[in-house]
Amino acid sequence: MENIQNFQNLWFFLILILFAGYSLLDGFDLGIGSLLPFLGKTKEEKDILINSIGPVWDGNEVWLITGGGALFAAFPHAYATAFSGFYIAIMLLLFALIFRAVSMEFRAYDEARANLWEKAFILGSALAAVLFSVALGNVVYGVPLDNKMEFTGNFFTLLRPVPLLFGITGFAAILLQGATYAVMKTEGELRERAFYAVKILTLVNFVTAIVYFITIIFTFQDILSHWLFYVAILCTLLWLMEILFSIKKKHDSAPLWESSFAFIGLWLVVPAVHFPNLVKASNDQLLNITIYNSSTGLQTLKLMSVIALIGMPIVVAYTIFVYRIFKGKTKLSDHY
């Protein structure tokens, strides 16, 4: 029993790392898409912003696919509950990601409807960012479940105040990721506009983060006894403050790193309030779906661990390689 619990604990944190990694990496290109009409004032500037994510956006989504696959293989009951219960929201998310992906290509080649595809790109990016964050808020805050681990609510159940706060906080963090990435990848007036956006969004993130942490305290009363919660607060607020110093000195790459560390601070709240749960039951805590009552067998977890030991370093190495190849400022002449 103790042996399988070690693997269950391991896969909880590995899946958490995969989803957090996805939010950081795909976060900046979702942020670029959402901020496109505010950062880019001309078609040329918008082309530069889209070109800046061209070589990496699809690779970033590998982290999401891997995280979803790992959740299905390690904790199939939690996967089934989340994906069936959030069916409408997930379909909206899939449509947002699909239209976002194709709109980048169609915008370039379907000149007659370029504005339409640009709007689809912006809307798809923003909608995906919000839906991801609201979904996380629901699994952490809790949804109504029955004794068969099945969701008993409806679409509007997902739109309660606390999950929506997760959505707003996550969206603000993703916008900041996008703005800091734009600072790193652009030049001239576009870069100055991105610096200004970073300043405004950093202040917005201070507000949303503080409200987020206060809400967590009142929602999960025992959180004040968990040391990781204090680490989360310090990590988020200190790195947000550091962004303000970096943009004052006009640093190019530092704001993106600092934004990422602040985002990690927000993520640290999840294991602090959620472990060992995967999906909380809002109607009865005895119905919580945990890593212990929803996992697959020991042999499967062992085999997955071997695969992860080989595969995850490859994914990390590939990610680093791609970002090194395409580092530097993006030019209008760059096409991917």
C-alpha angle with apex 9: 7 to 11, nearest 5 degrees? 70
The confidence score (pLDDT) of residue 2 equals: 56
CA separation, residue 14 to residues 66, 70, 301 (Å): 10, 9, 12
Instruction: Using a pLDDT cut of 90, give the percent of the chain over it.
Output: 71
The confidence score (pLDDT) of residue 327 equals: 86
Contact 104, 171 (CB under 8 A): no
Higher pLDDT, 99 or 166: 166
Question: Which tens digits make up the pLDDT trace of 131-160?
Answer: 999 999 999 999 999 988 889 988 889 999
How many angstroms separate the most distant Cα atoms in the chain? Answer: 63
CATH 1.20.1630.10 is right for the domain spanning 2-325: yes
**The whole model's pTM is what?**
0.94
Task: Tally the C-alpha atoms within 13 A of residue 169's C-alpha that lie toward its C-beta.
Answer: 29
Residue by residue, DSSP assigns 255-271 as HHHHHHHHHHHHHHHHH
Higher pLDDT, 214 or 3: 214
Q: What is the pLDDT averaged over residues 20-36?
A: 93
Domain ranges (residues) in the chain: 2-325
In 10 A of CB 275, how many CB atoms?
Answer: 16
Higher pLDDT, 59 or 289: 289
Q: What is the pLDDT averaged over residues 43-72?
A: 89
Give the pairing type, strands 277-279 and 289-290.
Answer: antiparallel
The region of weakest confidence among 2-16, 120-134, 248-262, 322-336 is: 322-336
- Give the Cα separation of 122 and 287 in Å (integer): 39
CA separation, residue 103 to residues 36, 39, 224 (Å): 13, 18, 45
CA torsion sign, 162 to 165 to 171 to 177? negative
CA separation, residue 336 to residues 19, 28, 56, 286 (Å): 26, 17, 10, 51
- Give the Cα separation of 197 and 170 in Å (integer): 17
Tokens 């504005």 correspond to what residue? Answer: 115
Structure tokens at 273: 């309030």
Contact 128, 100 (CB under 8 A): yes
